Chains A and B, each alone.
Chain A
């Protein structure tokens, strides 16, 4: 059946919960970032994981991709994620090389 507009039976309350979850995750990020809980590389990993969770909530609920056909979900996500994985292998081995050489982070 064609899914013309987002006319599924999800209630507005769900969107308020998603909005609250996004604000809460943002607050967690601010606390982690401002208190510098982790070293930069670990901090980057943690913040990226939190950002991916937030983006999944936005894409799935606010952008309604969760309610689209499976073919559309997989085509869009697989192509974009594949490109990001390629970008990762282009950029990060070299950035990590400097870190692995033992150059110390001074924190300033």
Chain B
């Protein structure tokens, strides 16, 4: 033991950097994810600042969100907050080495995330059906005469910033659900993703924007397959913790989008 200690000390001091303590006191994957999240927060920061600028600069600003929309967005917020709690439980289970409960908590997180995406998709479809549209995107016939059609014509920056910001966030949530699915189920998740993609494409009407948006799942399937087949591995507690950092970030961003986008545009009854 004494030899081993001596040898270890020799290596530490003789070869600079070989066993040097990490600068940030964390493993490299975690530091890498934090750096990515710092850069991603600037992307969302720019979008949120642009939205807030338009909100203050445009007079009058449309207020299309009535009680039903606010209730829906509040439930979506509760889903994301609850998903963060289940994600924390997944990290705890992974640190205990409890693989079954790690998978269960990750699955619960994915269910909350999927509920968020479905609720958001329904909200989007309803708004588009009422006439809140941006040029070049598919829309149902009812959009031309809907009660929000005037907003799209007179204040086009509202649908542009609303859909731009929320689409970026929805994409992040979708990537997060796929990421957690890969960590929890590895290769078993790929056929599930494939079935969801095909089912979504066939079942969502062609005049709905998600008929094309569902192809994000195909992209996720391809990227997931490349990662899983090129570098197959058994994901450990570190991987679960790093995936949790990404998931909490998605939750964090929504904490700004919900009040700024929805609550600042409520319709007075």
Contacts from A to B (Cβ < 8 Å): 1-7, 12, 15-16, 19, 22-23, 26, 29-30, 32-34, 36, 40-41, 43-44, 47-48, 50-51, 54-55, 58-59, 62-64, 68-69, 71-72, 75-76, 79-80, 83-84, 87-88, 90-92, 94-96, 98-99, 103-108
Q: Which residue of B lies closest to A22 (CB)?
A: B81
Interface SS of B by simple majority: helix
* CB neighbours of A59 from chain B (8 A): 248, 252
User: Which B residues from 68 to 114 make CB contacts under 8 A with A?
Assistant: 70, 74, 77-78, 81-82, 84-85, 87-89, 91-92, 95
A80 touches B41 (CB 8 A): yes
Contacts from B to A (Cβ < 8 Å): 21-27, 31, 34, 38, 41-42, 45-46, 49-50, 52-53, 55-57, 59-61, 63, 67, 70, 74, 77-78, 81-82, 84-85, 87-89, 91-92, 95, 237-238, 241, 244-245, 248-249, 251-252, 255-256, 258-260, 262-264, 266, 268
B26 touches A3 (CB 8 A): yes
B264 touches A29 (CB 8 A): no
B77 touches A87 (CB 8 A): no
* CB neighbours of B81 from chain A (8 A): 19, 22-23, 26
Q: Which residue of A lies closest to B92 (CB)?
A: A12
22 contacts between A and B (CB under 8 A): A2-B21, A12-B88, A22-B255, A30-B70, A34-B263, A36-B268, A40-B56, A40-B264, A47-B260, A68-B26, A69-B24, A69-B25, A71-B24, A72-B24, A72-B34, A76-B34, A76-B38, A87-B45, A91-B50, A92-B56, A95-B57, A108-B268
* CB neighbours of A105 from chain B (8 A): 59-60
5 nearest interchain CB pairs?
A33-B263, A69-B25, A47-B259, A95-B56, A72-B24
A40 touches B238 (CB 8 A): no
Instruction: Give min CB distance, A34 to chain B, whole Å.
Output: 5
* CB neighbours of A88 from chain B (8 A): 49
A5 touches B87 (CB 8 A): no
Set B25, B74, B237, B256: member contacting A26, Cβ < 8 A:
B74
A12 touches B263 (CB 8 A): no
Alpha-carbon gap, A72 to B23, bound state (A): 8
With A2-B25, A94-B57, A106-B60 in contact, is A62–B258 under 8 Å at CB? no
